[in-house]
Structure 1
Amino acid sequence: MAAVNLLSLEKVSARLGKQAVLSGVDLTVGAGEVVALCGPNGAGKSSAIRAAVGLAPLTGGAVRLDGDDLRGLSHRQRAERVAYLPQERRIAWNLPAFEVAALGAPFLSGGDAMARAEAALIEVGAGHLIDRGVADMSGGERARVLLARALVVGAPLLLADEPIAGLDPDAQRLVLERLRARADAGAGVLVSLHDLTLAAGFADRVVVLDQGRVIAQGAPIEALSPTVLRSVFGLDGEWIEAPNGPLLAARRA
């Protein structure tokens, strides 16, 4: 019997005001895999992730978490099944890092939530920031704290919207390594990425969106073919054989 996908978007359509942002999107995320959402600005990447957590009302199709229709799940059931890391990194209050991270575990007792928050902060290399207010941090430090908050949830599915945008290379590598580690431990990860080279080397599968539609999906070497690179991204690209596997080389056409 085939395993049920942790996330399924089935012919999902959505609008933002009068504009269609998703049109018949199909995608899945299984346990133990990283799926990268790629596409130009306005392609629908954030809308797809928001739809997957119930934050973008659908005009058609269905979202399923572990086989169950999202619309039939309570807020607690959703929170237990999926962790969401939004692109927005602004935090309204200057709370210390451990309190922000602990917000990812609202159903645990205070002591358990704090212990899990501390462990997550150490996991993302932010153990030294435990008592520092998030308003007094750099953008990269704050990004680590928010990643810790998502990891604290302990959900089997993790959705991250542009988690490495604006970060330096070391911080980007750390974020991707933590997401990869969660997938290797059995979680499913859906992450939107602008950097196609990073997506190609990091993800098990890539889903390419353009104007709210799925243009290609599959293994990176298939989804990011020279034809897709040129037609969707305006890039000339090729896959180069390397000791650790094929590498994507792309440049502006």
Structure 2
Amino acid sequence: MIAPLTMWDAEATLGGRKVLDGADVQVERGRLVALVGPNGAGKSSLIKAFVGLLALDGGVARLNGDDVTTLSPRERARRVAYLPQERRIAWNLPAVEVAALGAPFLAGPEALARAKRALAEVGGAHLVDRGVAEMSGGERARVLLARALTTDAPMLLADEPIAGLDPDAQRLVLERLRGRADGGAAVLVSLHDLALAAAFADQVVVMHQGQVAAAAPPMEALEPGVLRSVFGLDGRWVETPDGPLLAARRAQ
């Protein structure tokens, strides 16, 4: 059976620079895959290609077996929820109305009810009636996550959803994404924090210069050779009472 999210031999350029260079990625149902790599490695480009926001020069990105370029925006929205890295919201709408945008195929009252549940799920019940322009960056991040969770799409893609959040909020976000995967969704999330990627993901995909340098369970993908060649780190896995812990420092 073909994985819901599949990308084969993807090639893409942006601003005259090659951002994807033969990338292959698959995300199965019920799995959370963490996409990691240095700045400029191609993580955001890969996610945007999956949702049809970045055209491929070669290769293919498929949603449930169909080339994303053959799907209408409406059909893409049915299949995949997308949480972009940018947290700008154009209008000062109440949080519940912004979150309800994640359910465009539901009647208004049902969409609002689902949005309220999603806001509560991300610790944002107190934000329901507040305008998003009056919120902190972290609060807006919760609202946008709630918008993504409001959809019942079987695939969820999140680009740096924990950037700028405090540690408790970071874990809350990843727990909610983990919950969606455990519920049967295919979840792909880009992260900078390797320890959190290892803690929450079923598989880690390491990107480097537009290519996939490793794709395996966390301890295999983030092995010492990859840590040094891709991230410039000296690192190893240490067994602790709470499970394996990644210990790493900048390579000399």
Fold-level similarity (TM above 0.5)? yes
* Structure 2: distance between partners of 1:56 and 1:145: 25
- For residue 241 of structure 1, give the secondary structure of its aligned residue in structure 2: strand
CA offset at residue 144 of structure 1? 0.5
Which residue of 240, 243, 246 maps to 1:242? Answer: 240
Aligned: 1:113 with 2:111: yes
CA offset at residue 17 of structure 1? 2.5
Q: TM-score, normalised by structure 2?
A: 0.97
Which residue of 133, 136, 142 maps to 1:144? Answer: 142
- The aligned counterpart of 1:61 is 59
- The aligned counterpart of 1:16 is 14
Which residue of 105, 125, 128 maps to 1:127? Answer: 125
* Structure 2: distance between partners of 1:25 and 1:232: 16
- The aligned counterpart of 1:219 is 217
1:1-253 alignment runs, 5 A limit: 3-253=1-251
* Structure 2: distance between partners of 1:57 and 1:16: 9
Q: Which runs of 5+ in 1 are unaligned?
A: none
* Structure 1: distance between partners of 2:248 and 2:196: 12
Q: TM-score, normalised by structure 1?
A: 0.97
CA offset at residue 30 of structure 1? 0.6
- For this pair of structures, how many residues does the alignment match? 251
| Bigger shift: residues 112-121 or 41-50 | 112-121
> Residues 220-253 of structure 1, C-alpha deviation per residue, up to 9 Å, x if partnerless?
1111010010111010100111234322111111
Runs of 4+ in 1 over 3 A off after TM superposition: none
Percentage of matched positions with identical amino acids = 71
- For residue 57 of structure 2, give the secondary structure of its aligned residue in structure 1: strand
Q: Which runs of 5+ in 2 are unaligned?
A: none
Letter in 2 for 1:174: L
Letter in 1 for 2:81: A
CA offset at residue 91 of structure 1? 0.9
* Structure 1: distance between partners of 2:35 and 2:141: 20
Cα RMSD over matched residues? Answer: 0.9
- For residue 189 of structure 2, give the secondary structure of its aligned residue in structure 1: strand
